[in-house]
Amino acid sequence: MRVGLLGGAFNPPHEGHLQLARLALEHLDLDELRFVPTAISPHKPDPGSPSAEARLRLISDALSGFDPRVKVEPLELERGGTSYTVDTLEALTLREPHNQWILLMGSDQLPGLSQWRHVERVFQLASAAVALRPGAPFDAPDLPGIQIKSRWSGAPGELVRLPSTELDLASTDLRACLQARPAEDPAGLPPQVLRTIRTENLYC
């Protein structure tokens, strides 16, 4: 089975995440796509709130009525601690050895790819699909074991390009907007996510 993995804090999940999922489903011939919320990101400071349980609810809300091939993978939250992609891939490969894995990311993540923990092992287990983001060109890192391809074959070690989401959204900016202007509804949040944020008084 060909499975896409979209990792992140999703704090909160927004239309950019959903558009990346749509692009991946359209261009990668996926059987399944999983949102993988981090427990603690090794690349960003922990914003503190809301809780992991609240973030899971927000992701579930965002995916309500979405493509049925898209699911939530809670493995990193259940494991706790700092979430490293290599550990997640090792666990998933052990649990589901016949699957083919491809990571989904924005082009703004490419410059830091070489700093990932055991990045060579990551690309022994999975490939990556990169969507262009404004101001972040597709600059592939010079890493051993990675091949740039026009289409994903299903094999690990490949780097393929996705179209731009055309949405310049960031969860950090949305959190700041929710905190600074609590009476306003920021653009870019799915209505069902915004409804839960208001109901549970999140990001206040």
Residues 75-94: tens digit of each pLDDT: 999 999 899 999 999 999 99
Q: CATH fold of 2-200, please?
A: Rossmann fold (3.40.50)
| Mean of pLDDT over the chain | 92
Any idea what DSSP says for residue 184? S
10-52 pLDDT per residue, tens: 999 999 999 999 999 999 999 999 999 998 877 765 555 688 8
Global confidence as pTM: 0.94
**For the segment 149-167, what is each residue's pLDDT rounded down to a tens digit?**
999 999 999 999 999 988 8
- Gap between the Cα atoms of 50 and 33, Å rounded: 24
d(CA 117, CA 143): 13
CB 13 within 8 A of CB 174: no
